[in-house]
Amino acid sequence: GLFFFFQAEDGIRDAQESRGLGDVYKRQGQKGGSSGTAVAETSTRATSTCCKVAIGVAVGLLVVCGVLACLYFLVFKDDSSSNSSLNLPEVKPPVQRATPSALYTTRRAVGPDTPSALTTVVDRFFKDGPTDFLDRLGMVDQRITSLDNRQMEGSERKCVTEALQTWTPTASFPDGSTFPMKFSCKEVMDDQPDSTLTVLFGVDVGGSGNTTYLAELQVSTGSNPTMAVLVKATNISGTTTVEVWQTIAISSSYSSWMHIKGIDSETLELSVAGQGLNLGVGCGVRLFAGPNYTRSDGDFSDPAPANPGCGSVMDPVCVDSIALGNSSGSCSSLVYTIDGFTNTDLDSGAYQTIAQSISEGTGLPSTLTDFNEQA
């Protein structure tokens, strides 16, 4: 499956208190009056001199220890740039924070006042199963964690310092948009069961914020599906926006496409459609979830031949985002910022073939450096 995820403590040991100096003066008993006084005076002077010597020696040792510790830090401590973090952000948390909890915690039945169309959306996209996109994003984060751990455990990877190269997966996606991505690192994992997996990522550092690109391209060699997950996460002024395209190519005739956009703690948008087979994603459905209200509209039936086919467009659904109760008329302010697409768009554009092509990495730059190559 795809979804596409420590550091040894370095430090300086505290300087140990110098031990083993011992007593430098051993007091001995003396006989006689005046000679005893002289001995006592001699003893006092000796003691004072020895104390000064002992203090001087101790201070000197501490200075030496400090110098040695600094030398250790400068010479032996790993350079921070040689095993620094990849700084790849997690993608599931901001999307989940943008999603009303009533949607993804509804493992229970939704309320009796919830419109049946939204119940279908909850059942399909927010419960365990192949269309559970939050679970899929969690798998992406596992991959991110794995890459970061490997970077931290060894020397810096050569590819992370190289220039980004642009890849535009296809001329246009089903909604007419393009989704150019930028990568500097690539890794092919051909030891996956029933599939070959290619992972690519890159970080574009800009003046107003960073954009992270990550792709997992899986080509089936057995029972696993041929699919692609393309992620773009932009952080500007502390706010993360995650945009994801997921494609699944079932065969030369069937595919499904999903477009997700989550703005951390603000809004979630979802557009999805299936093509040519009952994939459980509908003929063309959109969802807009805000902190107060959630709307959904589209064709919730499934494509033929397993079902009667598309064409049963339902009235828009509007519920409150807390209890998912009917709030008809309250969603007029929820305006989609991503375009929808339908089964008809997928068929007319031969997107089952395009889904296969994306998963195979058609058009990827040929000079991307393997992640395993160290600097």
DSSP structure string for 265-310: TTEEEEEEEEESS--SS-SEEEEEE-SSEEEEEEE-S--TTTSS-S
Q: Residue 80 class from Cβ within 10 Å (0-12 exposed, 13-18 middle, 19+ buried)? A: exposed
pLDDT at 169: 95
List the one residue out of 202, 133, 218, 126 whose CA is nearest residue 164. 202
Q: Record the tokens describing residue 66, joined without a space.
A: 């400090």
Residue 304 has pLDDT above 90, yes or no: no
Residue 25 has pLDDT above 90, yes or no: no
> How high does pLDDT run on average in the chain?
78
* Overall average pLDDT of the 223-242 stretch: 93
Residue 240's pLDDT band, with cuts at 50, 70 and 90, is very high
Report the C-alpha gap between 228 and 198 in whole angstroms.
Answer: 10
pLDDT at 62: 53
| Interacting residues of 46 by C-beta distance below 8 A, sequence separation 6+ | 25
Report the C-alpha gap between 317 and 295 in whole angstroms.
Answer: 5
Contacts 24+ apart (CB under 8 A), 68-76: 69/12, 69/13, 69/15, 72/12, 73/12
pLDDT at 278: 59
Residue 335's pLDDT band, with cuts at 50, 70 and 90, is very high
- Residue 216's H or E segment, with its range, is strand 209-220
Q: Assess contact for 286 and 121: CB atoms under 8 A.
A: no
Longest dimension (CA), the chain: 124
Residue 48 has pLDDT above 90, yes or no: no
Residue 80 has pLDDT above 60, yes or no: no
State percent of the chain over pLDDT 70: 73
Residue 220 has pLDDT above 70, yes or no: yes
Return the higher-pLDDT residue of 65 and 374: 374
* Overall average pLDDT of the 150-179 stretch: 92
List the one residue out of 279, 286, 326 whose CA is nearest residue 110. 326
Return the higher-pLDDT residue of 244 and 307: 244
Return the higher-pLDDT residue of 126 and 367: 367
Q: Assess contact for 174 and 341: CB atoms under 8 A.
A: yes
pLDDT at 22: 31
Asked which of 119-123, 135-139, 146-150, 246-250 is least confident by mean pLDDT, the reply is 119-123
Q: Assess contact for 128 and 323: CB atoms under 8 A.
A: no
* Overall average pLDDT of the 81-105 stretch: 86
Q: Give the bridge partners for 272, in sequence order.
A: 258, 285
pLDDT at 110: 57
User: Considering Cα of 43, then 44, then 49, then 51, what sign does the dihedral take?
Assistant: positive
Torsion of CA 227, 360, 191, 141, to 10 degrees: -50
Residue 315's pLDDT band, with cuts at 50, 70 and 90, is confident
* Overall average pLDDT of the 208-225 stretch: 91
Residue 2's pLDDT band, with cuts at 50, 70 and 90, is very low
* Overall average pLDDT of the 196-206 stretch: 94
Residue 64 has pLDDT above 60, yes or no: no
Q: Record the tokens describing residue 200, joined without a space.
A: 């690519």
Report the C-alpha gap between 117 and 51 in whole angstroms.
Answer: 89
